Amino acid sequence: MARAKKVQTNETLEQALWKAADKLRKNMDAAEYKHVVLGLIFLKYISDAFEDLYQKLKD
């Protein structure tokens, strides 16, 4: 089975994230989309806080 070739682009992380956000949003109203984004931000915060606490307890 052949593997797909990876196309290498020179876009920044910010550009890649913006494109991903556009794909997720599609035709969704901004008022509805903010709930999705705020949920993801909250999950990122909780994940970072957990990782910090885990490292402190591990040490």
User: Mean pLDDT over all residues of the chain?
Assistant: 81
| Cα–Cα distance for residue pair 52/58, rounded to 1 Å | 10
Whether the model pTM is above 0.85 = no
The whole-number average pLDDT for the span 41-56 is: 93
What's the pLDDT score for residue 2?
A: 57
Query: Which residues have C-beta within 8 Å of that of residue 37, sequence separation ≥ 6?
Result: 21
Who wins on pLDDT, 25 or 15?
Answer: 15
Cα dihedral value 33, 37, 42, 45, nearest 10? -170
